[in-house]
Amino acid sequence: MKFYKPAIVILLYFFSQLSWAQKASKLLVIKDGQSVEMSYLGESDFSFFDQLKVIDGGVEKSFDAAQIDGFKFENGRYFLSKKVRGTEERHFFQIPFEGEKSIGVIKSGYYLILGDEAILLSVDSRENTSMVSRELKRKTYLGVLHYALDDCSPEITEMVNGVNLSYPSLERLFIAYHECKGLEYELHGKSIPFFKPGFSASVGFGSINQKMDPLIFTTQGSAPTFEILIDLIFQKFSPRTKAQLGASLLSYEDTWRVSDDGFIPGQAREFYQEEFKMRLIKLPAVFTYNVIHKEKQSLYLGAGITYSLAKKESISEISQWEFNSPYEENTIITRPRDPVLLDTRNTSGYLWKLGYRRKVKSSWISTEYQFDKFSNLGYAVLTSDIIYKYSMSMNSLKIGVSF
């Protein structure tokens, strides 16, 4: 724990830096059909807004979806206030495609925009009839799209039958429909890439906690770790979110042993000990989300799964048993036994992380705390009916750079 007190202090310090003021970006606020330029204190890279906070004439103002018609950022990101069909709720929907029939996006959900209404495009489960396979899902969004787009041509009808709930697929359908009808349309923020690739590398140091109850590890060591990740930022609709795939390397040495502390006359006492070196290649898949997202710094959380490729090298091993000599009183005889070794296995685990990033020129410097857990990394068999499961967890502090 002493090792991680400085890490906590560092993260708290970086967290305090997030209160620094950021350069305001310009946007157009649309109200009663009129557009007024204002300043937004933050970044336009947000997936959704509950409220819009702006500076107008030096005065801070807040608008919700019932107060204004919408707003548009300089980079083309465009939001309109719409009412969800069947409710009185109004929300700000991002509008990547605008025409007679538009596409709305909020919180990763896709909507058909008809006038002032937003109709959810969804897939319903048939769990109430005990039919839960993917093939038996009811694609209710197909009925909505047929209702809205079925007055053009058989080709459009065929496209509707083959559409899926992804923006590229929906965009192709809506473009084809509007061109078929001779209607005007506009793609907002088309210069914003759907995904933005990136690269991250980090080095760190972690404390390792191993368990194989009731067997004992003589130490709970620490070791350096190295990691390389490919980043995929969801730039168009959820720029706070990114997926990370990569590999990391971990190597450490330790010793496990078990022995009977008591020695009852007439019974045997067993002793097992193995000194080993463990190498793990971890293959993580992580989703991270910027809880605080600003132009030059961010605070993020991440969670994911990781697969380990484990290789153990036995350095030395002792397996023996002792008993009282039946011929000489108070004499203990020691005999070797077949080796009892820790067997490793490739397995999956989970991880979570907390980190802070700050932009330096064209790259980002980060520091993060990460927790990894593997609950079934191997086993040892002392008797034919008892298997001791080997688990390992690690707390690490890392520093890295990303581009």
Give residue 11's pLDDT band: very low, low, confident or very high (50, 70, 90).
very low
Q: Give the residue, 161 or 14, on which the prediction is more confident.
A: 161
- Given a cut of 80, is residue 279 above it in pLDDT? yes
- Given a cut of 70, is residue 47 above it in pLDDT? no
pLDDT on residue 384: 67
**Span 83-119, pLDDT tens digits:** 999 888 899 999 999 999 999 998 778 999 999 999 9
Q: Which residue has the tokens 């700000």?
A: 92
pLDDT on residue 170: 92
**Span 18-46, pLDDT tens digits:** 443 344 578 899 988 888 888 887 666 66
Percent of the chain exceeding pLDDT 90 equals: 38
Domain ranges of the chain: 23-187, 196-402
pLDDT on residue 116: 93
- How many angstroms separate the CA atoms of 383 and 215, rounded? 13
pLDDT on residue 379: 87
Q: What's the average model confidence in pLDDT over 222-238?
A: 89
Q: What's the average model confidence in pLDDT over 119-140?
A: 62
pLDDT on residue 137: 56
CATH label, 196-402, candidates 3.40.1090, 2.130.10, 2.60.40, 2.40.160: 2.40.160
Give residue 261's pLDDT band: very low, low, confident or very high (50, 70, 90).
low
Q: What is the mean pLDDT of the chain?
A: 83
pLDDT on residue 3: 45
pLDDT on residue 248: 94
Q: Give the residue, 322 or 183, on which the prediction is more confident.
A: 183
3-state secondary structure the chain: CHHHHHHHHHHHHHHHHCCCCCCCEEEEEEECCEEEEEEECCCCCCCCCCCEEEEECCEEEEECCCCCCEEEECCCCEEEEEEECCCCCEEEEEEEEECCCEEEEECCEEEEEECCEEEECCCECEHHHCECCHHHCECHHHHHHHHHHCCCCHHHHHHHHHCCCCHHHHHHHHHHHHHHHCCCCEECCCCCCCCEEEEEEEEEEEEEEEEECCEEECCCCEEEEEEEEEEEEECCCEEEEEEEEEEEEEEEEEEEEEECCCCCCCCCEEEEEEEEEEEEEEEEEEEEEEEEECCCEEEEEEEEEEEEEEEEEEEEEEEEEEEECCCCCCCEEEEECCCCCCEECCEEEEEEEEEEEEEECCEEEEEEEEEEEEEEEEEEEEECCEEEEEEEEEEEEEEEEEC
Best-predicted range by mean pLDDT (34-48, 60-74, 137-151, 266-280): 60-74
- How many angstroms separate the CA atoms of 34 and 32, rounded? 6
pLDDT on residue 263: 61
pLDDT on residue 100: 94
pLDDT on residue 18: 42
Note the pTM of the prediction, 2 decimals.
Answer: 0.70
